[in-house]
């Protein structure tokens, strides 16, 4: 029996995956899909997306990239576009939101051609906006599974909570813009045959009729063994941060921690150091942070095991943004407990409890207290790390992704096969790859 032909539509490539959660999830999803069928990639990069990795041309064959588009900046769209033109502020905001999900004409045309040729048996999409840019919501002839990963309206809501002039209104209830965004995103998602979300909390929040959890898990290169825990380091007084620093939620959260929390931690634990591992930090911020006593900006590190082996604990001081924060469970997989904000623990709190596996820092003061307590009590942090590592190994493994991908895709492919029974399919033509900007490539 021929293996199914699968198109995976992505905004970021599954490489480099060492320090970017979106690329890591893409790599693990690709691994799961490749166990089922023959996978090709359609790459859609929004104008404001991360820059493509160096040497991307060499990756075309490796990942079978058959089309590539760079879409322009979004324009206002939808019902609120005309009222917004008339100067109504709220209407402008809603029209701007809707414009982010308008299909790119060239990408949609290319995808429709492939669907009309019956080139693919299944389409999988990373993120709602990517799927909409490709026009995949309007291709009912092929079963389509959407990996929401981030719930877009939650990203908006978390950002609003960090803006002082909006925070008061947000505390009074869900802002109207967020309610509108949730409703429109849910309607878009329901056009797909199945949706994946990253956590049980998101499954409940999205409330989609055809959906399941595809968890985020600690990353390891496909085919390699699970992460093994590092030996405990009772003598260590090092706090570790790992994450991309050209991603605004990471940079802003860590900047807040360094400015508001770190001086108080050093006052109580003078020998403490904060080691920052991650790429993408601008030189001005690097110089400012490096000038703080005890702060070491290490930059990119290919082998994260080295960083985790020397530290006492990790931190995840993120206050807004999307998705579950893989670095929380990555730290636990390496045998290190974590001081994390409520936002960083979103999707994990049903399993990772404060004082048992992690330290929940709901304020600057609580983050300070957690770091001091764990730095000065090696037995407590060892106990919490052991509990966390056991929970992560039981609930967040690459096997969980492979099993969910296989179950969902088998179900969708079986239904499509029954519908097509007796209807011959033409031989698929090899598509012409498209260059950035919509040309061939």
Distance CA 321, CA 249 (A): 6
Residue 187 belongs to a domain: yes
Q: Which residues have CB under 8 Å from 170's CB, separation 6+? A: 157, 160, 161
Q: Both 212 and 361 in a single domain?
A: no
How far does the chain reach from its first CA to its final CA, in angstroms? 31
Longest pairwise C-alpha distance within the chain: 75
Q: What is the pLDDT along the chain (441 residues), one digit of tens a residue?
A: 589 999 999 998 887 666 577 888 999 999 999 999 999 999 998 766 655 666 667 778 888 999 999 988 888 888 888 777 766 678 888 998 999 999 999 999 999 999 999 999 999 999 999 999 999 999 999 999 999 998 999 989 888 877 655 545 445 456 889 999 999 999 999 999 999 999 999 999 999 999 999 999 998 877 778 899 999 999 999 999 999 899 899 999 999 999 999 999 999 999 999 999 999 999 999 999 999 999 999 999 988 999 999 999 999 999 998 766 889 999 999 999 999 999 999 999 999 999 999 999 999 999 999 999 999 999 999 999 999 999 999 999 888 999 999 999 999 999 998 887 765 544 444 444 333 333 333
Helix axis angle, 152-161 to 164-171, nearest 10°: 110
Domain annotation covers residue 225: no
Are 419 and 334 part of one and the same domain? Answer: no
**3-class DSSP assignment, residue 168:** helix
Say yes or no: 425 and 381 in one domain: no
Of 375, 395, 415, which residue is a domain's last? 395
Q: How many domains, the chain?
A: 2
Is residue 273 one of the residues assigned to a domain? yes
* 37: exposed, middle or buried (Cβ count in 10 Å: 0-12, 13-18, 19+): middle
Q: Is residue 231 part of a domain?
A: no
- 344 in a structural domain: yes
Same domain assignment for residues 406 and 390: no
Are residues 52 and 183 located together in one domain of the fold? yes
Same domain, 213 and 284: no
Q: How many whole angstroms separate alpha carbon 254 and alpha carbon 27?
A: 26
If asked whether residues 156 and 265 sit together in one domain, one would say: no
Q: Answer whether residue 401 is part of any domain.
A: yes
Q: Please check whether residues 40 and 181 belong to one and the same domain.
A: yes
Q: Are 404 and 213 in contact (CB under 8 A)?
A: yes
**419 plus 390 within the same structural domain:** no
Same domain? 201 vs 137: yes
The answer on 56 and 195 residing in a single domain is yes
Q: Is the CB of residue 138 less than 8 Å from the CB of residue 117?
A: no
Residue range(s) defining the domain that contains residue 401: 5-219+397-438
* Domain C-terminal end among 395, 412, 428: 395
Q: Is 128 exposed, middle or buried (0-12, 13-18, 19+ CB in 10 A)?
A: buried
Residue 226 inside a domain? The answer is: no
- Domain of residue 290, CATH code: 3.40.50.2000
Task: Please give the pLDDT value at position 54.
Answer: 61
Pairing, β 65-70 against β 38-45 = parallel
Residue 224 domain flag: no
Asked if residue 146 and residue 289 are part of one domain, the reply reads: no
């Amino acid at each position: 029996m021929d293996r199914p032909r699968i198109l995976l539509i992505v905004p970021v490539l599954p490489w480099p995956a060492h320090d970017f959660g979106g690329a890591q999830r893409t790599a693990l999803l690709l691994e799961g899909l490749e166990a089922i069928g023959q996978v090709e990639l359609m790459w859609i990069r929004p104008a404001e997306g991360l820059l493509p990795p160096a040497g991307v041309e060499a990756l075309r064959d490796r990942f079978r990239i058959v089309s590539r588009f760079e879409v322009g900046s979004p324009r206002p769209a939808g019902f609120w576009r005309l009222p917004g033109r008339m100067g109504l502020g709220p209407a402008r905001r809603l029209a701007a939101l809707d414009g982010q999900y308008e299909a790119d004409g060239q990408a949609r045309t290319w995808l429709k051609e492939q669907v009309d040729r019956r080139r693919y048996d299944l389409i999988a999409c990373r993120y709602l906006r990517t799927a909409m840019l490709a026009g995949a919501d309007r291709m009912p002839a092929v079963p389509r599974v959407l990996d929401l990963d981030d719930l877009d309206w939650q990203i908006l809501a978390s950002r609003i909570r960090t803006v002082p002039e909006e925070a008061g209104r947000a505390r009074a209830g869900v802002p109207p813009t967020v309610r509108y965004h949730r409703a429109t995103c849910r309607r878009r998602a329901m056009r797909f045959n199945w949706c994946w979300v990253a956590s049980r909390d998101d499954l409940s929040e999205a409330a989609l009729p055809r959906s399941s959890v595809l968890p985020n898990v600690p990353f390891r290169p496909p085919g390699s063994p699970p992460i093994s825990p590092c030996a405990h380091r009772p003598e260590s007084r090092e706090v570790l941060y790992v994450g991309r620093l050209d991603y605004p939620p990471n940079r802003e959260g860590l900047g807040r921690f360094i400015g508001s929390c770190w001086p108080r931690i050093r006052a109580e634990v003078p020998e403490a150091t904060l080691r920052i591992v991650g790429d993408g930090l601008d030189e001005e911020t690097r110089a400012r942070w490096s000038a703080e006593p005890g702060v070491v900006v290490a930059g990119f590190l290919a082998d994260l095991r080295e960083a985790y082996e020397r530290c006492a604990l990790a931190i995840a001081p993120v206050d807004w943004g999307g998705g579950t924060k893989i670095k929380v469970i990555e730290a636990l997989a390496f045998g290190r407990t974590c001081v994390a904000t409520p936002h960083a623990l979103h999707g994990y709190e049903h399993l990772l409890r404060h004082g048992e596996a992690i330290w929940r820092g709901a304020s600057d003061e609580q983050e300070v207290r957690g770091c001091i307590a764990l730095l000065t009590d090696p037995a407590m942090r060892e106990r919490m790390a052991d509990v966390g590592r056991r929970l992560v190994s039981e609930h967040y493994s690459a096997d969980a992704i492979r099993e969910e991908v296989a179950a969902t895709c088998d179900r969708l492919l079986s239904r499509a096969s029954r519908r097509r029974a007796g209807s011959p399919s033409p031989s698929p033509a090899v598509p012409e790859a498209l260059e950035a900007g919509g040309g061939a490539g």
